[in-house]
Amino acid sequence: MTSEPPPDAPSGLSDRDRAVLAVERRGWPSAGVKERAIRERLGISPPRYYQLLNALLDDPRALAHDPVTVNRLRRIRDARRNRR
């Protein structure tokens, strides 16, 4: 059983938004590899990627599209905020 939503599932998200979530869903061996993939696959800088990702975490359409990834990232974000 996979946690990934079907590629043809209507989510109301843009192709770019779905691509951002797909990048984040994948495990990366290092930050450098992930940053290179962000630039090559999405054509945006890592800071812009993280801005988009953070906005997606608050978007109910993203939660409906990929609840496992979004909830995991929300927990990480909340834990970081609580440490500050």
At 41, list the tokens.
């696959």
| pLDDT tens track, the chain, 84 positions | 444 545 555 568 999 999 999 999 998 999 899 999 999 999 999 999 999 999 999 999 999 999 999 999 999 999 998 988
pLDDT for res 27: 87
| End-to-end Cα, the chain, rounded Å | 37
Sole residue written with tokens 């043809």: 8
- Distance (Å, rounded) from C-alpha 12 to C-alpha 56? 12
Q: Is 11 exposed, middle or buried (0-12, 13-18, 19+ CB in 10 A)?
A: middle
At 16, list the tokens.
């770019």
pTM: 0.81
